[in-house]
Structure 1
Amino acid sequence: MLNNRIKVAIIGIGDDAISVYNLLKNLKDIEVASFFNIYDEILPSNLLKENNIVFHNSLDKIFRINGLDIVINAVKDTKVEEKLKQIRGNVSIIETGSVNLMVRLFQEKQELLKIKGIQGELSTILNSIQEAVEVAGKDGVIKYLNPAFVRVTGIPAEERIGKNVLEASPDGALAMALRTGKNVFGHRTKVGGSNAEVISNASPIIIDGSLEGAVVVFQHFTDVMKLMDELKQRTSQIENLSDKFGQVTTCKYGFSDIIGESNELKKCMQLAEKSARSNTTVLLLGESGTGKELFAHAIHHVSSRREKPFIKVNCAAIPENLLESEFFGYAKGAFTGAVKSKIGKFELANGGTIFLDEIGDMNLALQGKLLRVLQEMEFEKVGGNQTIHVDVRVVAATNRNLREMIRNGNFREDLYYRLNVVEITIPPLRLRKDDLPELVDNLIVKLNRKLGKKVQGISKDAEEILYSYDWPGNVRELENVVERVMVTVDDEVLKKKHFVQHVSQFKALPEKDIDLMPIEQMEQLLIKKALSKFGNTVEGKRRAAQALNISLATLYNKLKKAKFENSNI
């Protein structure tokens, strides 16, 4: 078989010579036996790998090749052409002109292979996409459609290809693109020959400024509507998550932030820490400014829910007509202006703690709905009909007398007992004045950072003034007074004169001794003042006795002795 092959020698190792070799090397009947490198060029690495090819540096050796059939001259050189004329026998010589033709054929073959590869890739892509694709020539004759076209329309390929789209679907996007030469977007129509209603996008095919055809891509209308519905749902979810992210907060304080060493405060902290370990509802009682919110934060901080949201609702700060929507949220369209649904505080607090501050200011209608949430842990949004289930721990707080409000019909008794599982009454500052030095030192440190001051502390006479004052606003009032003093004073030690002008109780006091009077009369005056402040109810008397640092029984004995029970105090 090898003796029947045509033996070829190639002169030159330039680009043209290599192209000729690549064109011939895979032909079974041709053997490229030799290369003649007459210009001492560097040998190509791909040719070096061909073990059966012999390289020659001298053209004279061409006469010694046995059985040579063809010499291909890829070098345009007159000396080479003269040398080749000396070859005798049946050896054919192909000159450079013919070589150029062979190179051109080889290049065209390579281009065709590339185009064929691109066509294969494009066909694979078009066959795999879910959208229907249809292509027509400039005369309207349909040339191509993908499998998705058959699935969407139900029209077999053999019934569609070769038809004219201007007749088969004259109102379709493909026909419009062919007639106008412009893009068509979002065109809704039925595909000719089927009942498939589709949404189409079409574009003309322009080559060198000339219209050569058009292509259309479309989906079934119901598929588009499903996508739109899914998009709306995802958009709504994103909006809700965005709202939720903007409102969800975590606790800011722990029990270490509660300053004080008094027995009354320690007892409250111990009870709060014990209750925090369970999911029990906690009711925080105390005058304004005693630190009820601080306790609520601390309870959440040490609970098992500390990684979950801590949501605060100030029942006194929200108008009554908005409380329900704040608590439970509202559905889209529930009222004028409700252009989207809103997540309520209870839903935001799911898994965590909700702090209901000033619970005594909640109206009776909402109290009933709150009771249902506490009992069933479920509710509906305002204007909605879907029941939402939540897992929320409730901490409530008030400075009002809820028992008295129950007697007056202003607070539901059943809600009170649901909230009052664990009751913690935070003592006012006047009953724990031993904590004043520590509180003031802590405030000075914080305010130095805030105000850029360098206050070292307070003088003894200033400390005596703070001890002598009743602090009706409690710790909040103390914070306010100390900050006002530090803002207006540049001294490193705060003195009595600095505080007198900011504490109202001392501005009215004359700078002289109090008139002397019998101790019993002084007792009566103090008891009258305490009862006028806390009220003549049982709860009021209990708190009055606590303020006077006497037992409730002692207070009743003194009232009976002085015959106060028949008076109007």
Structure 2
Amino acid sequence: MALKVRVGIVGMGRGGTAVYKTLSKIDHIEIIVVCDRSDKNPGLETARQDGVATCLTLEAFLKVPNLDVIIEATGSPKVQEELERKKAKSSALIEAQGANLMMYIIEETEKLANIKHLKGELDAILNSVQEAIEVAGTDGKIKYINPSFSRVTSIPASQRIGSNIFAASPDGALARALRTHEPVFAHRSQVGGSKVEVISNASPIIVEGKIAGAVVVFQPLTDIYKLMEQLKASNQVIDDLQSRINQISTSSYTFDDLIGSHPEFKSALNLARKAAQSSSTVLISGESGTGKELFAHAIHSASSRFDKPFIKVNCAAIPETLLESEFFGHEKGTFTGALKTKLGKMDLANGGTIFLDEIGDMNPYLQAKLLRVLQEMEFERVGGTKTIKVDVRVIAATNRNLPAMTKQGDFREDLYYRLNVIELRLPPLRSHKEDIPAHVHSLIGKFNRKFGKHVVSLTSQAEELLLKYNWPGNIRELQNVMERAMLTSDEELISHQAILNLFDSPSPLPQDHGIGELMPLEDMEKQMIRLALDRFGDSAAGKKQAAKALKISLATLYNKLKTMT
């Protein structure tokens, strides 16, 4: 077994510590002792942890026997002189200059090791990326290609490396970057030596302010097209989901929100509760503002479909030209502006409930298509040929007289009977005024929360005024009156003066035409309009009859109604 060289180090600063770390890794060298006058020097602590003896004075250091080599790393002439004078003759002394040289060699060795490590990491990265990479020097000589280059072009590294880019791909991005010394972006070309068309980005390599070559990164167009198609498909899925999210809602009311003790109202409520336990079609009839939509919400909430979509469609509000598309959707390109496939209301309501409000205003063509959905639970999108199956519970509502419309041929009789499986007739508010106080109490709580008010109730005069009013707009009108009263009132009790001027039309009208209480002509005009709508109804057909009776045009009636809201 070879004897180890016994070494001692004086000075554990930066240089001495570097020497220590390097020598400690060499098998045939044994560091016996290290010395430094500062006990806080990290080099001493490192040696202690390694089990090497340490000291703080030269006297102690020189007492250590049998040192083959003493390395003086302080650079102090005084220390060097004392060591030379007192060391054993068998000990060789390497002074600071030699130690510095050793330190330089050690540092360069470490730098080289770091460079090799970084090169290994860089090679691993370049070899793993999916994009093709090619590097050339300033003279155009190709120095490097990664495996993806060969995969994309089918050109092996042995054939490519060493050739000149100006000969191999003179029109490519790499050659262009070398010629111009400028970056090149989104350059479309064919890779020389292959017929692969690529999109490339190239950039000069600058070292210490001078160009040292250039690098190009590219992908074949086929990969980009695939990515574009995948992105397009993903965007379509996102658009469809966003469309569903924007249109799908859940029911907002339950049976607890329906207030009324009148026998006719309670009868409709009991029937609605029973209807909720089935999936039968429900037809809700009643004047505008009687709460037909609230009943539809409550039926859905109490049904087994409560966690599925509740989709509302106002049949009178959708233009006739768009009705079919709104209901059943359309395929991309079916008509001008149909830039993508659109899901219809029936699609969106699948598994849940669709509420068809103002069903009496649906056009006859769409009535026929709706009848098929009710019978077969299937339809085709506009412009499509694929039959789509759905499971939808239908609740319809109307303020019109559908039996009379079927006799006149304005509404399909077969559709009416298909809709009228369970019929709920909602009474107008004027027929159950005893429920007004309960409605008012509920509305006060609702609007206190909405407006941050602290209204307690109405005065007895105000309540009497509400009970005497005829309520042509039903519960909706009562809600509007209470909302406006609470907005304008700062008291805990709402007075009759706060209510008096809030009605859409005073009621009842004076019965005589003699001289009585005077009122502004504008208020009298509102009275007559409300009386006409109360008599003929608030539907589109009712408004036509009201305008005829008032001897004004339908457009004039609509304009006047806007000023009354």
**Shorter-chain TM-score: which interval?**
0.7 to 0.9
What letter corresponds to residue 357 of structure 2 in structure 1? D
Please name the residue that 2:17 is paired with.
18
Classify the secondary structure of the residue corresponding to 1:65: coil
Please name the residue that 2:81 is paired with.
82
Q: Alpha carbons of 1:380 and 1:405: their partners in 2 closer, same or farther (altered >3 Å)?
A: same
CA shift for structure 1 position 208: 1.4
Please name the residue that 2:31 is paired with.
32
CA shift for structure 1 position 92: 2.9
CA shift for structure 1 position 443: 4.1
Q: Alpha carbons of 1:50 and 1:156: their partners in 2 closer, same or farther (altered >3 Å)?
A: same
The structure having more radius of gyration, on CA atoms, is 1
How many Å separate the matches in 2 of 1:449 and 1:77? 86
Please name the residue that 2:70 is paired with.
71
How many Å separate the matches in 1 of 2:183 and 2:390? 52
CA shift for structure 1 position 484: 6.4
Whether 2:327 is the aligned partner of 1:327: answer yes
Q: Alpha carbons of 1:33 and 1:488: their partners in 2 closer, same or farther (altered >3 Å)?
A: closer
What letter corresponds to residue 206 of structure 2 in structure 1? I
Whether 2:458 is the aligned partner of 1:457: answer yes
How many Å separate the matches in 2 of 1:453 and 1:136? 81
Query: Does structure 1 retain, via aligned residues, the 8 Å contact 2:333–2:340?
Result: yes
CA shift for structure 1 position 133: 1.6
Query: Does structure 2 retain, via aligned residues, the 8 Å contact 1:455–1:494?
Result: no
Please name the residue that 2:274 is paired with.
274
Please name the residue that 2:511 is paired with.
509
User: Equivalences for 1:154-169 in 2 at 5 Å?
Assistant: 154-169=154-169
How many Å separate the matches in 1 of 2:323 and 2:395? 17
How many Å separate the matches in 2 of 1:482 and 1:509? 28
1:236-276 per-residue CA deviation (whole Å, 9 max, x = no partner) reads 33233333333332222111111111121111111111111
Query: Does structure 2 retain, via aligned residues, the 8 Å contact 1:187–1:199?
Result: yes
User: Equivalences for 1:189-268 in 2 at 5 Å?
Assistant: 189-268=189-268
What letter corresponds to residue 114 of structure 2 in structure 1? K
Gaps of 5+ in 2: 515-533, 538-565
CA shift for structure 1 position 226: 1.0
1:218-249 per-residue CA deviation (whole Å, 9 max, x = no partner) reads 22211111111111222233233333333332
Query: Does structure 2 retain, via aligned residues, the 8 Å contact 1:8–1:34?
Result: yes
Classify the secondary structure of the residue corresponding to 1:204: strand
Residue identity (%): 52
User: Equivalences for 1:347-426 in 2 at 5 Å?
Assistant: 347-426=347-426
1:78-98 per-residue CA deviation (whole Å, 9 max, x = no partner) reads 223323443564543222111
What letter corresponds to residue 30 of structure 2 in structure 1? E
How many Å separate the matches in 2 of 1:467 and 1:156? 95
1:112-150 per-residue CA deviation (whole Å, 9 max, x = no partner) reads 111111111111122222222222222222222222222
How many Å separate the matches in 2 of 1:448 and 1:77? 89
What letter corresponds to residue 456 of structure 1 in structure 2? S
CA shift for structure 1 position 206: 0.9
CA shift for structure 1 position 104: 0.5
Q: Alpha carbons of 1:501 and 1:218: their partners in 2 closer, same or farther (altered >3 Å)?
A: closer
Q: Alpha carbons of 1:157 and 1:533: their partners in 2 closer, same or farther (altered >3 Å)?
A: same
User: Equivalences for 1:485-496 in 2 at 5 Å?
Assistant: 492-494=494-496
CA shift for structure 1 position 377: 3.1
- Residue-pair matches, total: 513
Please name the residue that 2:317 is paired with.
317
How many Å separate the matches in 2 of 1:488 and 1:36? 92
Q: Alpha carbons of 1:170 and 1:25: their partners in 2 closer, same or farther (altered >3 Å)?
A: same
1:516-541 per-residue CA deviation (whole Å, 9 max, x = no partner) reads xxxxxxxxxxxxxxxx9799xxxxxx
- What's the TM-score once normalised by structure 1's chain length? 0.81
CA shift for structure 1 position 398: 0.9
1:378-400 per-residue CA deviation (whole Å, 9 max, x = no partner) reads 33333344544433221111122
How many Å separate the matches in 2 of 1:323 and 1:507? 41
Classify the secondary structure of the residue corresponding to 2:230: helix
Between stretches 242-251 and 290-299, larger displacement belongs to: 242-251
Query: Does structure 2 retain, via aligned residues, the 8 Å contact 1:443–1:482?
Result: yes
1:304-330 per-residue CA deviation (whole Å, 9 max, x = no partner) reads 222232221111122211211222233
Classify the secondary structure of the residue corresponding to 1:382: coil
Classify the secondary structure of the residue corresponding to 1:19: helix
Please name the residue that 2:500 is paired with.
498
Query: Does structure 1 retain, via aligned residues, the 8 Å contact 2:33–2:61?
Result: no
Whether 2:300 is the aligned partner of 1:300: answer yes
Query: Does structure 2 retain, via aligned residues, the 8 Å contact 1:485–1:502?
Result: no
How many Å separate the matches in 2 of 1:377 and 1:457? 51
Between stretches 170-179 and 99-108, larger displacement belongs to: 170-179
How many Å separate the matches in 2 of 1:82 and 1:483? 104
How many Å separate the matches in 1 of 2:499 and 2:210? 95
Q: Alpha carbons of 1:340 and 1:88: their partners in 2 closer, same or farther (altered >3 Å)?
A: same
Query: Does structure 1 retain, via aligned residues, the 8 Å contact 2:485–2:502?
Result: no
What letter corresponds to residue 17 of structure 1 in structure 2? G
User: Equivalences for 1:419-438 in 2 at 5 Å?
Assistant: 419-438=419-438
Classify the secondary structure of the residue corresponding to 2:375: helix
Q: Alpha carbons of 1:501 and 1:59: their partners in 2 closer, same or farther (altered >3 Å)?
A: closer
Alignment RMSD = 3.2
How many Å separate the matches in 2 of 1:461 and 1:137? 94
Q: Alpha carbons of 1:96 and 1:402: their partners in 2 closer, same or farther (altered >3 Å)?
A: same
Gaps of 5+ in 1: 513-531, 536-569
Classify the secondary structure of the residue corresponding to 1:506: coil
How many Å separate the matches in 1 of 2:192 and 2:295? 73
Classify the secondary structure of the residue corresponding to 2:307: coil
Between stretches 112-121 and 91-100, larger displacement belongs to: 91-100
Please name the residue that 1:62 is paired with.
62
How many Å separate the matches in 1 of 2:65 and 2:227? 75
How many Å separate the matches in 1 of 2:69 and 2:499? 122
